[in-house]
Structure 1
Amino acid sequence: MLDTPQIIQTMAQAAATIHLTVPRSDMMKVFGPAVGELMAALAAQGVEPIGAIFAHHLTMSPDIFDFELGVKVSAPVKATGRVKPGELPAAKVARTVYSGPYEGLPTAWGEFETWMKANGHEQAANLWELYSVGPQSTPDPADWRTELSRPLKN
């Protein structure tokens, strides 16, 4: 289920990130361990995460995910191992919230893209998902919430 999409202007937000390029089929294998690695690096530096984990997909391919796993931060992070300073960019985006399990995200993105096209919005190459409510918050996938943001060219 999607909330009514909105067009908003985002501000650049400092983040700590790990860049990953993985086959789509490996996403669930690498995501959890990378989150643990990211949070451990922040804790070691005394930097507080702000909000939820996100995946900023830099390019879209059917078979390969090229993305930055990250979290917004309260202070600059120092590069350590795979963890690097990064940001969620300032952009004009179409945004909605998907409610449900992660397995439904491809369908949700399809519905969202249909809405963008029907409303004359040309999409940029990148996108991001912010996992605001997930298994860390509640065991019931029906209660999970993922914010979908797609930068626009127009």
Structure 2
Amino acid sequence: MNFEHVTLAPQRILGYHATVPVASLSEYFRPTLDAVAREMDDHGVEILGPPTAVYHGVITDSVEVTVGFRVAALATPRAASVIEDLPGGPAVVAVHTGGYDTIGETHQRLTDWICQQHLAAASLSWEEYVIGPAESPDPAAWQTRLVYPLA
């Protein structure tokens, strides 16, 4: 697995924010992403990147998450949506290839590597679903970019 140091540009996500049981994340994502996309379409907000899930704090049995899409800096939230500004600066990224049932292993390898390098991750991280079920029915083809900003 390759881990890459990058410098992120600040980004803005428009999405829905909730605390969700980890066991229910996959059931939460699809209808939430569909609702966010409909809201953006209804209000003429352009999607600028793949679906994204931003995780806040330590993940236990539940997680605080914002699920949505990257938008232009001038986008404003509508209805139940929120704006989440993601930080720019140094980060470590990895690409998980395969189904979501093994993505936790990739997160663990990435966080172990960050510790081994004597780096410190920020209190949030995110996943960008570059290739997912909407693009391919084959989970072996799915690609998720894991992004860990550094503190």
- TM-score band by shorter chain is over 0.9
Look up the match of 1:43: 41
**Shift of the alpha carbon at 1:11?**
1.1
Look up the match of 2:31: 33
Look up the match of 1:67: 65
Instruction: Confirm or deny: 8 A CA contact 2:95 2:144 kept in the other structure.
Output: yes
Q: 1:110 is matched by which residue type in structure 2?
A: Q
Q: How does 1:1-154 map to 2 (within 5 A)?
A: 2=1, 4-74=2-72, 76-153=74-151
In 2: Cα distance, 1:91 partner to 1:70 partner: 21
Instruction: Confirm or deny: 8 A CA contact 1:77 1:84 kept in the other structure.
Output: no
Q: 1:20 is matched by which residue type in structure 2?
A: A
Q: Deviations over 1:41-88 (max 9, x none)?
A: 100011110120111101123111101112111463332222123322
Instruction: Confirm or deny: 8 A CA contact 2:98 2:141 kept in the other structure.
Output: yes
In 1: Cα distance, 2:123 partner to 2:109 partner: 17
In 1: Cα distance, 2:118 partner to 2:93 partner: 15
Q: Deviations over 1:95-147 (max 9, x none)?
A: 11111101111111111112111222112221110000000111111110000
**Shift of the alpha carbon at 1:15?**
2.3
Q: 1:136 is matched by which residue type in structure 2?
A: A
Greater displacement, 35-44 / 67-76: 67-76
In 2: Cα distance, 1:90 partner to 1:74 partner: 15
**Shift of the alpha carbon at 1:31?**
1.2
TM-score, normalised with respect to structure 1: 0.91
Q: Percent identity?
A: 25
Instruction: Confirm or deny: 8 A CA contact 1:128 1:148 kept in the other structure.
Output: yes
